[in-house]
Structure 1
Amino acid sequence: MKQKVVIKVCINDPVSRFCCFNPKRSHSTALTLAAGFPGVQSAALVGDDKDRIEVVGERLDAVKLTTLLRKNVGPAEIVTVSEADAKDKKESESSKDKAVQPIMWPHIGGGVPHREITYVVDPYQYSEPSCSIL
């Protein structure tokens, strides 16, 4: 399931670690950190001030990503977390033909295998008659 996470990062804030040196560097640092996070497929700066990072990917941990941005760039907060293809799924579901699919029952084996019943006879305890005529 693809997720879309929007994180607001205060890049031009005086608390930000890189704002004193070069604000563009903090933009690129935040974008590089977001793009290198595990599970990320795309990352982009959005918003009027380019202060939001939109990250799309599978199995994203938004909290860990936000914590990473807080440690390396500055104040960050999660704005939204949603499915990436929510609109496409709704359109595809409504446009699908509602065909009846056959029910596939699982194959059930022959049951539980049982052991054969065997008897162990001790020849010393069981004695046959010595005379075969009797």
Structure 2
Amino acid sequence: MKQKIVIKLQMMDLKTRSKAMKIAVGLPGVESAATEGEDKDQIIVIGDGVDSVALVKRLRKAMGMAILVSVAAVEDEDKDKDKDKEKDPKPEPLPCVYYVNEQGYYQEPNCIIM
């Protein structure tokens, strides 16, 4: 089950921000990580089976301060797309019509120029 983890950190410059991102992405199961917040002081981690407590412990050890703000479940977009496909099916193509010569032999055209 995918989950969205929001962690508040004290990131003063780009060096500390990149350090925190490397730690967050290094855990198994992490699919994406992004910074957000008014001063870009929050990291949002999205992944499947990510241990939020282990992530916060690693960030506290490396960065000093880390606060776990929220952990929430995220629905897959693939399921939403499948639901949309069921609601709006594509129209079926029209059948093709083939004409067959019933006489069974080749007829020459009425007008021959030569």
Asked if these proteins are the same fold (TM beyond 0.5), I'd say yes
Aligned to 1:10: 10
RMSD across aligned C-alpha pairs, in angstroms? 2.3
1:65 counterpart residue number: 55
| Match 2:26 to one of 28, 33, 36 | 36
How much has 1:84 moved relative to structure 2? Answer: 1.5
Q: Is the 8 A contact 2:35 2:44 kept in 1?
A: yes
Q: Which runs of 5+ in 2 are unaligned?
A: 88-114
1:83 equivalent in alignment to 2:73: yes
Q: TM-score, normalised by structure 2?
A: 0.65
Greater helix proportion: 2
Q: Runs (4+) of structure 1 moved beyond 2 Å?
A: 86-90
Aligned-residue offset at 1:88? 8.8
Q: Which has the larger radius of gyration?
A: 1
CA distance in 2, matches of 1:86, 1:58: 11
Matches within 5 A, 1:38-57: 38-57=28-47
Deviations for 1:72-91, whole angstroms, at most 9, x for unmatched residues?
1120010000012289979x
